[in-house]
Structure 1
């Protein structure tokens, strides 16, 4: 119903007179339809230069709304709150507005309405709650009036769609860094039970998964600001802080529902892409936050449910582009897992599982312990180790080497025959199987750059890396075959290692596009002579020095330093800031006209706390001062779930007006575009931008990935290339220092026997 009553001319809002067929005069302030809670609709001319509070007060006066004007607010048709920052934009767009309860009043009323257990009333209230709970003013009133306790009670007592809406409301509340510190172990267990149930609906599981992820990441060590009261036992929990949960608390509840991890893994194959995405993000959070006390147990559970195989299946489903960033995050997390296993020493005294694995290997060999000619036990040397000190034999490859040898013995039904066949040969002609297995672990670690935790330069999928144990078995069998076909003797171990290194490079190249059967063919069918000929050609181009163990260790150290250097450089670029074109998602509805947008440029800068991206939109590029004064808007880094690339198109008329921007087809996505995807599914993308050049694109996509808690992977070949180039240059400089002095670098160092007594001292260095 329209109200055509006249109002004083000085009013902030005014009703337009009836349309008698006359044309509206040019230069008039745009008009907006404003609807009250009673259904009354008026056409109002709103002065965009005034504050929203003044606009609301004038509307209340003109429309004779009862009550205090501060109890009312304006929202658009999409329920977005009208603020001083967006008022001008909404007036110019002539959006329909609604005069509604102010957020503080709405928050108080919603908290009271949740006490009603009438199903219809409850659902309507929850729908309103999930929309408004992210607003600070609303949230504070809702929290202060016991709203969180009522919401938790609903989550405990409802099912189906009502539970889905309640969980979504809780998920949205947890985007705030306050208000949910009262959640306890019982609530966590309830969420775990909801997720574990195969009967739970998809729309229930999505928010439940997001809630569990948020709880895992709400660790005291991740709380913003200095952790006063921190001790060796960990950071102290600040009273009232939501950073009081973390992996340990969540995992304790997960252990009560043993089927949870299996269910999460199974949901990676869900036809619902969002569900698979949420599950992938939860897995990454668990991996990156796993505590030392529960790490081994958690990783063993993941392995038991074939987590890596499920992710490999995801890689082959090209319809799931949204999962690319999460899969690369998973690869980076698995690199940390592999590195940790490799750097964890084998210790039978403190880890009964290590002793059990060694017993398993020995039993599968079907050998008997003997005594050699010196009266010493002859056991592990029969398997190909250099000594009987089995823990020392795994020094370089740690638990990873032990697990690889165990899997090799377990998967090969002829393992005992292979061992006996080597023992039947003369001593100098035997291939040391166990030693070969450990060397293959080193070669694969070198190939996949498993040098240090948290450093991954892979920009593509690595399905073979995720099948590390399977590739190890193939390469170890290849080692044994090359030993036999080349007629190798005990002094030829390094020569056979060189052959295997060459074959590893060939078989595992371009793994993101190769089929597994091609890898198997390369390891099982390739003849010795072909491998040898190729390796000789490689030796002509390479220095044998680079394959020596000390040099490989030096390369690992320099790689870590290079990665950290590039990471800091990328973050510095973000802190300096840059101009971008505001892009349009390629799947978004295209504007009806092709006019250039009024503010197509955005300057973005990362603040010194590394917590927020501050930005400003502008019609033209202008000199931005240092600091954040010119940048009124901001995006929280923690609210970004992934950095999606290459999925946006330029707005009309912007790129062709500027020669400094990359060429692109009018309808095709720009290769220099990237989107900041929100952790909240409803929000979608937080920003869609196009970089001015390839270098700026690499700086920002990789810099943002490196900032995220569950990230760490590199997205661009440019950044990966920088890390590799710096590593090679640094290595060559270090080697020049040695080779220039004609210093001989040994392939390995053998420790001598320990002193017979303590009657010695260290001579001072001269």
Structure 2
């Protein structure tokens, strides 16, 4: 609409005909958010007419009027409508509409205007005095609503009830109004005013009233619902304000001179079912008095409840009034369990008792740190845009934060359970607190947005201590690796090389010592066949040899030759090199093939990471491999086999020519350990990597022990300075005889 049309528009807005007014205000709402048009409209007296429409009309005309004022305020214009002696009537009209009008479009408009009204001072430029921003500072913020709230005390009930509305826009407007009210009353208490003045008490009273009306439950349901996308901004704002409130409660120091603090402490004491044999004071002070003439007090009045001293206010130094709220809330919800717990603890030695109050404060701080309450600020959510990613929603929105009280009670019960399961004592308090901290991170921290609080409570109660210890060890290892990993990586590599060198020498020494291997004999020489043949004396006389089922192999001292020979029986001592007739030059070996398992992976292994099967390979560096299971042998002992291959033409192979391989020696180890020693010994002797699981396990064991020794970093001189004077001297037996006895 053109600015020149403003006089005609105002004329139609002031018309007595409802149809003309309705059409005019309908057009107004689509044009008034243009600053140039709005400026002409205000200067022409349009605010007076718009105010009159809001005060006197209804139906769509009223809805369009409210929408027009909302859009005018969005461009930061038209605030003069809330000034003057009639401003309170307009505010009361808006409050009345929220309380009495059932139409959604009217409710949305009225709430949006009140949001702007309450938030106006909050959006003032930083460092600029309020008096220079608005002309009537008393008519904005929460104070502007107080006269109207006195007339319509059910206002908050209706606002919170709209949080369950099916209209998401109305629901968002209601939550935005609540956020604006909370932000205003909290920002008024900057900590500089006297704690006992009414201005600093307003915020806690307003918050308590909103909570009693079901605000927390309604916001919790919205944060877990599918409507989150449409309500992302106000819900995120509410979540931040919840953190701000928790932080402010923590910052309130517990003072026994304040009536509400004194009542909370006294209520906790009375709920503990104190021993009536000790008479209490008049109730004006929770501390023990030592003045003459006063009645007797229980010397453990507060320590019995789990406080560290008889001056309980000092225990709240860290958690503040938030810690007191959590403790009193736990006692109120679980009075019978609280008394039972105290009675159970009273039967134990003092050092073994679980300090209930101290545990409650510890859980409060665990939750405080888990949710990052200290990082919350009133301005945190001003720059957030609409959130589209569902996975991001699960990370940003924390509906469990709104279930603070139930989380605290569940965490405290978990603390008691851990204390009992670990058999903890007083000096172990921080260790148990650390376990509960890990438990909260594990259960609460990994919970999805839609997970119900009842499931969280159940998991906190049922999480096994053994699993929690495993998690703790994993976290410690990760923390250690994160801090020291860059330094330990190089050490591990060095130790790995040293361990491999050590194992190589051990394996080669096994070869130097020599070993017995079984040797399969032909079926004709088996005992059954031999008995049939020996029935013929002529055949028996023709037998020129006896079966030799044993083979002994030994590496030469210079580690260049592998000597071996076959025997009818094992001989003792083991044969020396001179008695072993056959030998193999290790420089001619082309590959070592075996069916010995290479651990979990039994594929073929060879040098240069080239897999080798039983086919001939081009000449080059000697190779090692493992093949499939050997065929059933008729040998006496085992089917495990190690076969050593050599080139049929070593000279041609040395030149790089293509030449075939041939088996020159086959060994049948009698045990897996012997197979591992000889297979890996031969491979390492040929400068190849070991492949069997047993050798790898031994190498890892040596490396791990080396790491532990280096981490200890303790020298002999650090722990042993030599014997004490006179130590180790054998006493003389001069003058003694052998007449002695033992007294039992």
* TM-score, normalising length: structure 1: 0.53
Task: Give SS of 2:308's match.
Answer: coil
| 1:632 match | none
Residue 543 of structure 1 and its aligned partner are, at CA, apart by 6.6
SS in 1 for 2:74: coil
Separation in structure 2 between the aligned mates of residue 478 and residue 255 of structure 1, nearest angstrom: 45
Question: Following the alignment from structure 2 to structure 1, what is the Cα–Cα distance between the partners of residues 123 and 141?
Answer: 9
Q: 1:222 aligns with which of 104, 123, 126?
A: 123
Going from structure 1 to structure 2, the CA distance change for 1:359 and 1:181 (only over 3 Å counts) comes to: farther
Structure 1: which 5+ runs fail to align? Answer: 1-80, 82-101, 547-766
**In the TM superposition, what is the alpha-carbon distance from 1:491 to its structure 2 partner?**
1.6
Distance 1:523 1:136, change over 3 A: closer
Deviation at 1:239, TM superposition (A): 5.8
Equivalent position of 1:357 in the other structure: 264
CA distance in 1, matches of 2:461, 2:36: 67
For the residues of structure 1 that align with 2:127 and 2:474, how far apart are their CA atoms? 57
Task: Choose from 430, 443, 448 the match for 2:371.
Answer: 448
Cα contact 1:462–1:511 (8 A) shared by 2 = no
Change (3 A) 1:420 1:512: same
What is the CA distance between 1:418 and its match in structure 2? 2.0
**2: distance between equivalents of 1:543 and 1:343?**
34
Note the C-alpha offset of 1:314.
Answer: 1.1
Instruction: Describe the shift of the 1:365–1:252 C-alpha distance in structure 2 as closer, same or farther (beyond 3 A).
Output: farther
- Which structure has the larger Rg? 2
Deviation at 1:493, TM superposition (A): 0.9
The 2-side partners of 1:360 and 1:116 are apart by 65
Using the alignment, how far apart are the partners of 2:34 and 2:154 within structure 1? 36
- CA change 1:446–1:252 in 2 (3 A) is farther
Q: Which residue of 2 aligns with 1:157?
A: 56
In the alignment, what sits opposite 1:689?
A: none
- Offset, 1:364: 2.1
Partner of 1:753: none
Q: Which residue in the other structure is 2:436 paired with?
A: 500
Which of residues 242, 252, 256 is equivalent to 1:344?
Answer: 252
The Cα of 1:210 is off from its aligned counterpart by 0.7
Q: Deviations over 1:140-165 (max 9, x none)?
A: 33323332122222222233333212
Structure 1 residues 299-378: aligned runs within 5 Å:
299-350=207-258, 352-368=259-275, 370=278, 377-378=299-300
Moved more, 267-276 or 452-461: 452-461
**Offset at residue 476 of structure 1 (A):** 0.3
Provide the residue aligned with 1:274 in structure 2. Answer: 169
Q: Distance in 2 between matches of 1:113 and 1:123?
A: 9
1:528 shift after superposition: 2.7
How far apart, CA to CA, are the structure 1 residues paired with 2:482 and 2:410?
Answer: 26
Matches within 5 A, 1:226-305: 227=128, 230=129, 235-238=130-133, 240=135, 245-251=140-146, 253-254=148-149, 256-290=151-185, 291-292=188-189, 293=199, 294-305=202-213
Query: 1:430 & 1:491 partners in 2: Cα distance?
Result: 11
* TM-score of the superposed pair, with normalisation by structure 2: 0.55
1:490 aligns with 2:426: yes
Counterpart in the other structure of 2:35: 136
Query: Residue 244 of structure 1: CA displacement?
Result: 5.9
Superposed CA deviations along residues 171-197 of structure 1, whole A, max 9, x for unmatched, are: 122123233323122211221121123
**Are 2:468 and 1:531 equivalent residues in the alignment?**
yes
8 Å CA contact retained: 1:107, 1:142: yes
**Structure 2 counterpart of 1:115:** 14
- Matching of residue 186 in structure 1 with residue 89 in structure 2: yes
How far the C-alpha of 1:459 sits from its partner, in A, is 4.4
1:196 to 2:119 alignment: no
Distance in 2 (CA, whole Å) between partners of 1:469 and 1:347 is 22
For residues 282 and 534 of structure 1, do their structure 2 counterparts lie closer, same or farther at Cα, with a shift above 3 Å needed?
A: same
In 2, Cα distance between the equivalents of 1:480 and 1:259? 43
Work out whether 1:428 is the aligned partner of 2:351.
yes
Equivalent-residue separation in structure 2 for 1:250 and 1:468 (angstroms): 30
Residue 373 of structure 1 and its aligned partner are, at CA, apart by 13
Encode CA deviations 1:419-461: one digit per residue, 9 max, x unaligned. Answer: 2222232222211101000000111111111224418699422
1:521 deviates by: 2.4
Q: 1:545 Cα deviation (Å)?
A: 14
- The answer on whether the counterparts of 1:112 and 1:147 sit within 8 Å (CA) in structure 2 is no
When structure 1 is superposed on structure 2, of 428-437 and 364-373 the one drifting more is 364-373
Offset at residue 332 of structure 1 (A):
1.4
Preserved contact between residue 38 and residue 77 of structure 2 (Cα < 8 Å): no
Q: Give matches, 1:67-86, under 5 Å.
A: 81=1
Superposed CA offset, 1:75-99 (max 9, x none):
xxxxxx5xxxxxxxxxxxxxxxxxx
CA distance in 2, matches of 1:251, 1:334: 23
The answer on 1:171 being equivalent to 2:70 is yes
In the TM superposition, what is the alpha-carbon distance from 1:313 to its structure 2 partner? Answer: 0.8
Equivalent of residue 472 in structure 1, options 376, 384, 408: 408
Secondary structure of 2:81's counterpart equals coil
Cα distance in 1 for partners of 2:480, 2:273 equals 42
- Distance in 1 of aligned mates of 2:240 and 2:98: 26
TM-superposition CA deviations, 1:243-283 (whole Å, max 9, x none): 96123323554454332222222212211111112122222
- 1:536-551 to 2 correspondences below 5 Å: 536-542=473-479
Structure 2: distance between partners of 1:289 and 1:125: 36
| TM-fit CA distance, 1:507 | 1.0
Deviations 1:540-569 (A, max 9, x none): 4447999xxxxxxxxxxxxxxxxxxxxxxx
SS of 1:431's partner is coil
Once residues 361 and 544 of structure 1 are traced to their aligned partners in structure 2, the CA distance between those partners, rounded to angstroms, is 45
Corresponding pairs, count? 436
Cα shift readout 1:554-599 (whole Å, capped 9, x = no counterpart): xxxxxxxxxxxxxxxxxxxxxxxxxxxxxxxxxxxxxxxxxxxxxx
8 Å CA contact retained: 2:271, 2:335: no
Q: Distance in 2 between matches of 1:178 and 1:504?
A: 49
Is the CA contact (8 Å cut-off) linking 1:265 and 1:307 kept in structure 2?
yes
Partners of 1:368 and 1:379 within 8 A in 2: no
Native 8 Å contact 1:280 1:327 kept in 2? yes
Assess if the C-alpha contact under 8 Å between 1:265 and 1:305 holds in 2: yes
* SS of residue matched to 1:357: helix
Aligned to 1:28: none
Contact 1:196–1:257 (Cα < 8 Å) also in 2: yes
Residue in 1 that maps onto 2:45: 146
Contact 2:138 2:144 in 1 (8 A): no
Aligned residues of 1:178 and 1:241 also touching (Cα < 8 A): no
Work out the CA distance in 2 between the residues paired with 1:140 and 1:242. Answer: 22
* 1:501 counterpart SS class: helix
Matched, 1:127 2:26: yes
Q: Secondary structure at the match of 1:181?
A: helix
- How has the CA–CA distance of structure 1 residues 345 and 543 changed in structure 2, closer, same or farther, with 3 Å as cutoff? farther
What does residue 519 of structure 1 align with?
Answer: 456
Q: 1:402 aligns with which of 301, 309, 324?
A: 324
CA distance in 2, matches of 1:378, 1:401: 21
Unmatched segments (≥5 aa) in structure 2? 190-198, 280-287, 291-295, 382-393, 484-744
Is contact 1:114-1:125 (8 Å) kept? yes
Higher helix share: 2
